[in-house]
Amino acid sequence: LVGSDGSIHSTIFAEMSALAAETGAINLGQGFPDEDGPPEVLEAAREAIAAGANQYPPGRGILQLRSAISEHQERFYGLRPDPGSEVLVTAGATEALAATLLALVDGPDDEIVVFEPHYDSYAAVVALSGARLVTVPLRWPDFRPDLDELRDAVGDRTRVILVNDPHNPTGAVFPHEVREEIVRLAERHDAVIVTDEVYEHLVFDEPHVPLATLPGAWERTLTISSAGKTFSVTGWKIGWVSGPAALVDAVLTVKQFLTYVNGSPFQPAVAVGLRMDAGFFRGIADSLSAKRDLLGDGLRSAGFDVSTPAGSYFTVADARALGATDAGAFCRELPARAGVVAIPLTAFTTSERRAEYATLVRFAACKRVDILTEAAARLAGAR
Ligand code: PMP
Ligand code: GLN
C-alpha cells in the first residue's frame, strides 16, 4: 500500500485546519492569507470567465502568462527564459515539484538531496518517484546548512538537489556561500538543481536571489514558483517551472498525464499580477515583515524562544520553556489551552531526525493584524 513505510500520509495541514474549524481556534497553522489579493488580479479572472476562457488552455499554459513569467524574471532577476520553450505553467508549485521529480528520476539508485525540515510534499513525491531521499539538516535557530554536511550528502548518485529558498517551514533565506556550494556540487556530480521559490517576493532583508542566476547554474536548474503566495490566491493553483528547454520538455511530458492543463481563467489574471508595478511587490513584503514582527513579539511575550525568519509566511518558535517535550502533542493541545492552532516542525522531518526538532513549532504570520494581535493575547493568557 502507498505509504506503508510512513513516507506518505494525510497532510498535517488538513488535520490542523480541521482542528481549527472544530474548536474555533485561530488558525496560525496552514499557510494561507485571510485577506484577498490585489483587486485588479481578481477582476481579471472574472473578466476572463465572462470572455469565455473556460475550456482547456494550451499544454504549456497560455502564451500571455508564459510571456509575463519571462518578463517578470527579467525585471527582477535579469533572467529571460524563452516563453515558447523554457517556461511551463503547472497546477501550482505542487504539481511542478511532482512532475519535475517524476521526470528526472530514473530508478531506485537515484538520490534526491533535500534540506530538512522540508515542505511536506517533498518526501511524499520522492517516495512516489522511487528515488532515495538524502537529507541535510537545518538547525535551530538560524537554520543554515553546514557546508560539510551538504558536501557529504551530494555524490555521484545524486540526481537532484532540491532547494527551497526562502524556506518553508523555517523562514530561512540561504546565505550566498550555500547557494554557491550547491551550484559547485551540482556541476561536480552532474546533478540537476530544482529550486522552489514560491516565497520569492516575501523576503524581509535583501532582494531575493534565484539560484538560477548564479554562474553555471542556469543550464542545470529548474526554477519553480507560484502565484498563490505572491497574489494571495492559494486556491487558484497556478504555478510554473522555468529552465533549459530540454529539462522543461521532460517536465511537460509528465505534467500532461498528471493534470494535462489547469486554471484557464486564472492564467490571464496571474499575467496581470506579474506585470504589476514595483510598489505592489514592495508592499506585500513590507506588510508581511510587520506581521512577522508582531507575531514574534507576541510569541516572545507568551514565553516562547523565537527565531527570526528572513522570508516566507512562517516563524519557528521553541516551546520548551512552556513545558513542551513533543511538539505534536503540544500543537494538538494548543487549541484547548490557548485557542490557537500551529504546526509541529516534526511534520516536516524524517523519522531519523525527528528528535532534533521535538519542541519546535511553526506559526503562520500571513493573517490579519487584528487576528495576530488576538492570537498573541490568547497565547500570553495561557502561559
Ligand atoms: N512549496 C512550498 C515551499 C510551499 O510552502 C507551498 C505551499 N504553498 C508549495 C510549494 C505549494 O504551492 P502551490 O499552492 O502553488 O501548489
Ligand atoms: N504551503 C502552505 C503551508 O505550508 C499550505 C500547504 C497545504 O495546505 N498543502 O502551510
Distance CA 25, CA 20 (A): 5
Cα(233) to centroid(ligand 1), Å: 12
- Ligand 2 atom nearest the C-alpha of 121 is 9
Distance CA 116, CA 214 (A): 23
Calpha distance 16→38 (Å, rounded): 28
Amino acid at 262: N
Tens digits of per-residue pLDDT, 254-303?
999 999 999 999 999 999 999 999 999 999 999 999 999 999 999 999 99
* Per-residue pLDDT at 37: 96
Nine-digit cell at 283?
508592499
Fold of 39-274: Aspartate Aminotransferase; domain 2 (3.40.640)
CA–centroid distance, residue 296 to ligand 1 (Å): 23
Cβ of residue 11 lying under 6 Å from some atom of ligand 2: yes
Burial (0-12, 13-18, 19+ Cβ within 10 Å), 10: exposed
Its ipTM equals 0.98
The tens digit of pLDDT for each residue in 333-370 reads 999 999 999 999 999 999 999 999 999 999 999 999 99
Per-residue model confidence as pLDDT tens digits over 232-249: 999 999 999 999 999 999
What integer is the mean pLDDT of 13-23?
93
Region 79-88: mean pLDDT is: 98
Does this model's pTM top 0.95? yes
pLDDT for 170-209, tens place per residue?
Answer: 999 999 999 999 999 999 999 999 999 999 999 999 999 9
pLDDT tens for each residue of 292-319 = 999 999 999 999 999 999 999 999 999 9
Half-sphere exposure in the Cβ direction for 274 (13 Å, CA): 27
Planar angle of CA 363, 364, 370, nearest 5 degrees: 105
List the chain domain ranges.
12-37+279-381, 39-274
* Residue 4 burial (CB count, 10 A): 7
Q: Is 94 in the pocket of ligand 1 (CB under 6 A)?
A: yes
- pLDDT at position 9 is 78
169 alpha carbon to ligand 2 midpoint, in Å? 10
Cβ neighbors of 35 (< 8 A, separation 6 or more) are 232, 368
Per-residue pLDDT of 38-73, as tens digits, reads 999 999 999 999 999 999 999 999 999 999 999 999
Q: Is 168 in the pocket of ligand 2 (CB under 6 A)?
A: yes
Q: Is residue 1 pLDDT above 90, yes or no?
A: no
Ligand 2 in contact with 226 (CB < 6 A)?
A: no
Is the CB of residue 31 below 6 angstroms from any atom belonging to ligand 2? yes
**Is the CB of residue 13 below 6 angstroms from any atom belonging to ligand 2?**
yes
Atom of ligand 1 nearest to the CA of 91: 16
DSSP letter for each residue of 278-345 = HHHHHHHHHHHHHHHHHHHHHHHHTT-EE---SBSSEEEEE-GGGT-S-HHHHHHHHHHHHSEE-EEG
Average pLDDT of every residue of the chain: 97
Helix ranges restricted to H, the chain = 12-23, 39-50, 63-77, 92-104, 120-129, 147-153, 176-188, 227-230, 245-258, 266-274, 278-301, 327-338, 369-381
Q: Which residues contact 137 (CB under 8 A, 6 or more apart)?
A: 115, 116, 145, 146, 149, 353, 356
Looking at per-residue pLDDT, the higher value among 312 and 382 belongs to 312
- Using the mean position of ligand 1's atoms as its centre, give its distance from the Cα of residue 195 in Å: 12
Q: Tell me: the pLDDT tens digits for 321-333?
A: 999 999 999 999 9
- Which CATH number fits the domain 12-37+279-381, given the four candidates 1.10.620.20, 3.40.1390.10, 1.20.120.80, 3.90.1150.10? 3.90.1150.10
Give the pLDDT score at 2: 63
* C-alpha of residue 185 to centroid of ligand 1, in Å: 26
Position 8 pLDDT exceeds 80: no
Structural contact between residues 33 and 232, judged by C-beta atoms closer than 8 angstroms: yes
Q: d(Cα 342, Cα 28) in Å, to the nearest integer?
A: 5
Label residues 123-150 b or e (16+ Cβ within 10 Å = b): bbbbbbbebbbbbbbbebeebbbebeeb
The confidence score (pLDDT) of residue 3 equals 63
